[in-house]
Amino acid sequence: MAIPLFFVAHWYASLFAQTFFLHRYAAHRMYQMNKFWERFFFLFTWVAQGSSFLNPRAYAILHRLHHAHSDTAKDPHSPVQHPNIFKMMWETKNYYYGLLTQRITVAREFLHGYPTWNKFEQFAEGWVSRIGWGAFYVVFYLLMDPAWYWYLLLPIHFLMGPIHGAIVNWAGHKLGYQNFKNGDNSRNTLAFDFVTLGELFQNNHHKFPLKANFAVRWWEFDPGYFAMKVLNRLGVIRMRSKRKYTPDQIAADAPVSEQHVAAEPEVIEREMQEGVPVHTLNETYLK
Ligand SMILES: [Zn+2]
Ligand SMILES: [Zn+2]
């Protein structure tokens, strides 16, 4: 029993780190938090992703490029551009390391607003950390001494972060239904996305990259947004603006904005203090 519980705990902890911290915060800045909580979730991401820790800066840049070039030849991880999921994962890995080592350079517009912690990043990406976490998973399995077939789950523990990314990008751009014509192949794979905490509403998310709730229809549910609302209520984060979304607005099918990153933190801070609507670069659908 300990092994399935451990697997499920690792799956959801890693997934939460990815959707809440790397995706919604580092890449899109959907909410703000103070330095303490930013560092806390930085550490949480390291613990949760362990051997497959993903650097927030490289993740954010890679993901913004994905939004800007969704499913075109310039998209760093599109199933449309690759013959199978393994090839897509491999190419994504190469691109990710290119960004991490700054071998690949990208336009300045992609290079701002993500959390950084240089010394800790170097440690978390180092082989001591990666192998240490890998050894921890193996030792845990050995101590629990499960039937041999449970050991087949170990590679998933080793590569948890990239596997979640691959599932989201493969299924979310290949399988499911579309609410919007985004000019790409994005899909909503599940109406109740409990498997990836809301990440599989790719079609909705590509339409409105800054909308905190990835669900738009009344019967769609985004657990990641629910978690954000709880943390917002607890004062851990501050979500930016309340975005109302009505069926009329869905029907209006507003044009896709090319902007996908929220305004500079200082601008958001000032506007929040002054009590005026928070400025974003993607609010056309609110009108
Ligand atoms: Zn996508
Ligand atoms: Zn996104």
Return averaged pLDDT per consecutive 10 residues of the chain, 287 residues in all. 95 97 94 95 98 96 93 92 93 94 87 92 96 98 95 97 95 94 92 91 91 91 95 92 48 41 52 41 29
pLDDT of residue 285: 28
Q: What is the domain range of residue 167?
A: 2-284
How far apart (Å, rounded) are the C-alpha atoms in residues 31 and 117? 19
How far apart are alpha carbons 208 and 204 in whole angstroms? 6
What pLDDT, on the 0 to 100 scale, is given for residue 283? 34
Measured from the alpha carbon of residue 29, the closest ligand is 2
Q: Which of 122, 120, 132 is nearest to 100 (CA)?
A: 122
For 179, half-sphere exposure in the C-beta direction (CA atoms, 13 angstrom radius) is: 29
pLDDT recorded at residue 235: 94
Instruction: Please report the pLDDT score of residue 282 as a whole number.
Output: 35
Q: Which ligand is nearest to the CA of 171?
A: 1
pLDDT at 242: 53
Rounded distance between C-alpha atoms, residue 199 and residue 189, angstroms: 9
For residue 184, report the distance from its CA to the centre of ligand 2, in Å.
Answer: 14
Q: What is the pLDDT of residue 81?
A: 92
Distance 132 CA to ligand 2 centre (A): 31
Q: What is the pLDDT at residue 111?
A: 86
pLDDT at 278: 35
Q: Nearest bound ligand to CA 200?
A: 1
> 149: CA distance to ligand 2 center in Å?
36
Ligand 2 centroid to Cα of residue 207, in Å, is 10
Cα separation, 152 vs 139, in Å, equals: 14
- Is-contact 202 77, C-beta < 8 A? no
The number of folded domains in the chain is 1
* Structure-token pair, residue 81: 């551009």
